Amino acid sequence: MRIATAVLLVLLTAGCGGGKKAMAPTRQTCPVTGMQVSFPILSSAKTYTATVQTNLGTFAFALDVKDSPCTTSSFAQLARKRFFDGLIFHRIVPDFVIQGGDPNGNGSGGPGYTVVDTPPSDARYVRGVVAMAKTGTEPPGTSGSQFFVVTGADAGLQPDYALLGKITRGLAVVERIGRLGNPQNEQPTRRVVIQHLTVTT
């Protein structure tokens, strides 16, 4: 009887994976291409808001942690490092998008690395949606630091761009900025600067 009880206890312990060790949560990581960096993954149980202060007003958007865990986590880390502060909206296309987040100020720059969050097949880029810009040769959902806000009713884009979030405050500011672009060359007609960008819970 004692032997049978001992065997049963061993089997139960093995089935539990060794007790406390099995209870330890696994840490999600994001594949990074380019410069080797690491950043904490945002909790899907929390709500995060990015607040963008510009020289023309402030707008805010809720981060889409569910659809883009790696993109939003990278974006939040860059914000913590004040990466966006002082950068401009280098591309403004009326009734389409405003685009910023490039340290070079001409659409060619980034943070030195990229992450990927393939967007849902039914993703739509409508007014107020914030997504990450990429080149035509990069895989769907690739992102660095450049982001855009849709100012038209529907940008008509394919689901190739990682979803960053949705405007929750200051859409009028975004629309005002969106009118300050030359539709022929997509250049801003006025300098629009991101003075400070923060991510808070």
Contact 149/60 with Cβ under 8 angstroms? Answer: no
Residue 138: inside a domain? yes
Residue 6: inside a domain? no
* Paired residues of 91 in beta bridges: 99
Residue 18: inside a domain? no
Structural domain count, the chain: 1
Task: Give me the mean pLDDT over the 16-45 stretch.
Answer: 73
Range of the domain at 191: 33-200
| pTM across the whole model | 0.86
In tens, the pLDDT along 75-86 reads 999 999 999 999
What distances in angstroms separate CA 89 from CA 18, 67, 102, 166, 201, one per listed residue?
54, 25, 8, 18, 25
Look up the CATH number of the domain holding residue 90. 2.40.100.10
Residue 1: inside a domain? no
Whole-angstrom distance, CA of residue 145 vs CA of residue 90: 13
In tens, the pLDDT along 79-128 reads 999 999 999 999 999 999 999 999 999 999 999 999 999 999 999 999 99
Residue 142: name the closest of 37, 71, 65 by CA: 71
Residue 4: inside a domain? no
Residue 140: inside a domain? yes
The tokens describing 173, both together, are: 């500011």
Residue 168: inside a domain? yes
Residue 43: inside a domain? yes
* Paired residues of 63 in beta bridges: 165
In tens, the pLDDT along 151-173 reads 999 999 999 999 999 999 999 99
